[in-house]
Amino acid sequence: MPLNFEPIHLDKQNKYLKHFAKCSQKASDYSFVNLWGWAVEYGLHWAWKDKLVWIKQTIPDTVYWAPVGQWKNTFWDQSLYDYFTSQAVFTRIPEDLARHWKKQLGNHIIIEEIRDHWDYLYHVDELVSLRGNRFHKKKNLLNQFLKKYRFEYIPLETETVSKAMAMQEHWCTWRDCESSEPLSAENRAIERILSNWKKLHAVTGAAIMVDRKMAGYTIGESLSDDTLVIHFEKGNQDYKGVYQAINQIFLEQSGGRHQIVNREQDLGDEGLRKAKLSYNPLGFVKKYRIVLT
């Protein structure tokens, strides 16, 4: 029987989160906020079968993501070939799942490492303290912001997300999102998340206000007991050091119990890769492209 794929709905959020909690390695792609927020842009659908959530991407091409649930005790040679034909393509496969597939399927799959999709991992306490020469430039920019501006730190809540939406609109005008499909797609995903803020259970965020104007905001989500993921981070470039400020202050004030922060992938963008490496990651969630043969 084929998998019955359907659009990703908010009403199955809790059910999905229970499956996601069973994954032995949690990549940012599979958080509910990310999956639902980008569902329209990637044409994402899901199917519920064999105690797993199977994910299909249809834009710009049809490929499959990693199934979400218990990986260790699944008979993959049976599950995959029951539902997929030879040459089926899977993308964004976390390293731990790729290892299970390699062990069970051997030469029946082709595995390719995709560096552009690796998640960047950092120690929360390092990004809060910014100690040492490795963080000298970041600390300097943070201090400039703290000394120059009288600011207010506010959590993003139902009554404040409208200000974040207004700032996002301003940011998009400044960056000319209409001329860039990636920025336009990101803007639509952000608007979708902010517009449904109260309905998203694990989402969190905060903003910095200067003279009653929003200078920067961040949107995150708890991935696990020890890991927080940052989905979006936007700043008004008129305020020097605002990105360093929103990053450091959010983790200091709202990082809570988390020891690790996942700042997602760079998607092969050289500028973004340089920026993410400049914060000295402790490691990565490596991801792979896998083809059934």
Per-residue pLDDT tens digits for 254-272: 887 899 999 999 999 999 9
Mean pLDDT taken over the chain: 96
Mean pLDDT of 267-283: 96
Report the candidate in 175, 215, 219 with the shortest Cα–Cα distance to residue 195: 219
Residue 158 has pLDDT above 90, yes or no: no
Query: Three-state SS for 215?
Result: strand
Query: 203-210 and 151-155: which strand pairing?
Result: antiparallel
Give residue 40's pLDDT: 97
pLDDT 10s digits, 12-54: 999 999 999 999 999 999 999 999 999 999 999 999 998 999 9
Give pLDDT, residue 275: 94
CA distance 263 to 265: 7
Q: State both tokens at 242.
A: 């605002």
pLDDT given for residue 73 in this prediction? 87
- Decide if 6-118 and 120-264 have a common fold: yes
pLDDT at position 66 is: 98
CA quadruple 50, 221, 175, 120: dihedral, nearest 10:
-80
Q: Residue written as tokens 């005790």? A: 73
Torsion of CA 173, 174, 180, 183, to 10 degrees: -80
* Confidence band, pLDDT 50/70/90 cuts, at residue 232: very high
CATH for the 6-118 domain, from 3.30.390.30, 3.40.50.920, 3.40.630.30, 3.90.1530.10: 3.40.630.30
Q: What percent of the chain has pLDDT over 70?
A: 100
Cβ 214 vs Cβ 167: under 8 Å: yes
Q: What is the mean predicted confidence (pLDDT) over 199-204?
A: 94
Q: CA-to-CA distance for 183 and 125, rounded, in angstroms?
A: 31
Report the amino acid identity of residue 15: K
- Give me the half-sphere count of Cα atoms (radius 13 Å) on the Cβ side of residue 183: 14
pLDDT tens, residue by residue, 183-201:
999 999 999 999 999 999 9
Which pTM was predicted?
0.95
Q: Where are the domains of the chain?
A: 6-118, 120-264
Please tell me the predicted confidence (pLDDT) of residue 255: 85
CATH superfamily membership of 120-264 = Gcn5-related N-acetyltransferase (GNAT) (3.40.630.30)
Checking DSSP bridges between strand 260-262 and strand 227-235, what pairing results, if any?
parallel
Residue 73 CB partners (closer than 8 Å, separation 6+): none
Residue 257 confidence (pLDDT): 87
